[in-house]
Amino acid sequence: MLALKLTEPAIELDWGPVKRTSAGDPLLDAPRYNIYRAQLDDDAMNRANHELSKLKWNANFQLLASQTENTYRDRSFEFGKNYAYSVRAAVTVDGGQVESEDSTPVIVTAADIFPPSAPHELSAAVLPGDTEGSFVVDLSWSINVEADFAGYRVYRSEQQGTKGQLLTSELLPTPAYRDTSVQSPHRYWYAVTAVDRAGNESPPSSLVAAEITQPAP
């Protein structure tokens, strides 16, 4: 039975090893496994979800790999597309390759549900503001390197241990932010998240505190 698992780097396939012929006789040599993939449009995907057995697969399947292992990782897929996979066992007979029938196909919509990693090394510096007695908090953190990275969100809380309210109405393209809305005397906690192009948001970074002290008289 062909099984499928969607992960961020690959669509993982595995199946039980074939040890006998269709007639039930033991195979003299271990077979090769030919892995096929078909890309489905939305209509075909809907039909497959409704009644998988009635779809015509052979015209759309293309050979991805031929190997002896009974697991395969498809790293060439694209998020947002629909795929069907099937595997055939193949043996050599009289110098030519003879394939089994298709395995029962498995289908998947490769939805990107994988968030970026949380930003790290968040630091906060309290600096003088533009007017006398005012302050700003400068935040900076390490850059995210995901290929589908879209931007950052900054959160501020007045209670330790909570992410707090969103400060940035739009995604920040760079790992820096200046909070000009702080007041003294007050302590704030900040956290940052990363967001990818699919809208997945990372867990928050570690919280960092900024202490706004009352100016001396």
Q: How far apart are CA 89 and CA 103, in angstroms?
A: 9
**Contact present, 162 and 188 (Cβ < 8 Å):** no
The pLDDT value recorded for residue 28 is 81
pTM of the model: 0.81
Q: Which residues contact 171 (CB under 8 A, 6 or more apart)?
A: 150, 151, 152, 153, 195
Assigned token pair, 191: 């956290």
Whether the per-residue pLDDT at 132 is higher than 60: the answer is: yes
pLDDT digits (tens, 9 = 90+) for 10-54: 999 999 999 888 778 888 888 999 999 999 988 888 877 777 765
Whether the per-residue pLDDT at 121 is higher than 90: the answer is: yes
The pLDDT value recorded for residue 44 is 80
| 3-state secondary structure (DSSP) of residue 46 | helix
The pLDDT value recorded for residue 43 is 83
| Adjacent-strand bridge partners of 65 | 35
Q: What percent of the chain has pLDDT over 70?
A: 95
* Per-chain mean pLDDT for the chain: 91
pLDDT digits (tens, 9 = 90+) for 188-209: 999 999 999 999 999 999 999 9
Q: How far apart are CA 210 and CA 134, in angstroms?
A: 14
Mind listing the domains of the chain with CATH numbers?
3-109 (2.60.40.10), 123-212 (2.60.40.10)
Q: What are phi and psi of 143, to 5 degrees?
A: -80, 145
